[in-house]
């Protein structure tokens, strides 16, 4: 899983698994979900992320992480 923040558009993309999306669906205004060819969720995009989320803090709880990279 990877998080990408794009300051120029104030959007946050959460990539749940690597691979191309085949279709994008708008769930609600400002929340788009990318699906692969089989209808599985690849990731989702949140518009106006800094207005909707606390981007200053990232927490995990009981996540079985074996690798951590800070970029």
Please state, in angstroms and as integers, the Cα–Cα distance from residue 17 to each residue in 5, 7, 8, 40, 41, following that order: 17, 22, 24, 10, 8
Q: pLDDT grade, residue 66 (50/70/90)?
A: confident
User: Is residue 3 a contact partner of residue 11, using CB atoms and an 8 Å limit?
Assistant: no
Residue 20 Rama label (left phi>0; alpha psi -120 to 50; beta): beta
pLDDT at position 68: 78
Residue 13: partners with Cβ closer than 8 Å, 6 or more residues away: 3, 4, 5, 6, 43, 44, 45, 46
pLDDT digits over 1-55, tens only?
A: 999 999 999 999 999 999 889 999 999 999 999 999 999 999 999 999 999 999 9
pLDDT at 58: 85
pLDDT at 67 over 90: no
pTM for the full model?
0.87
């Amino acid at each position: 899983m990877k998080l990408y923040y794009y300051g120029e558009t104030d959007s946050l993309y959460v990539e749940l698994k690597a691979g191309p999306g085949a279709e994008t669906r708008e769930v609600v205004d400002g929340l788009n979900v990318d699906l692969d060819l089989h209808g599985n969720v690849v990731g989702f995009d949140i518009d106006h992320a800094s207005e909707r989320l606390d981007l200053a803090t990232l927490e995990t709880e009981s996540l079985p992480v074996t690798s951590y990279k800070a970029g």
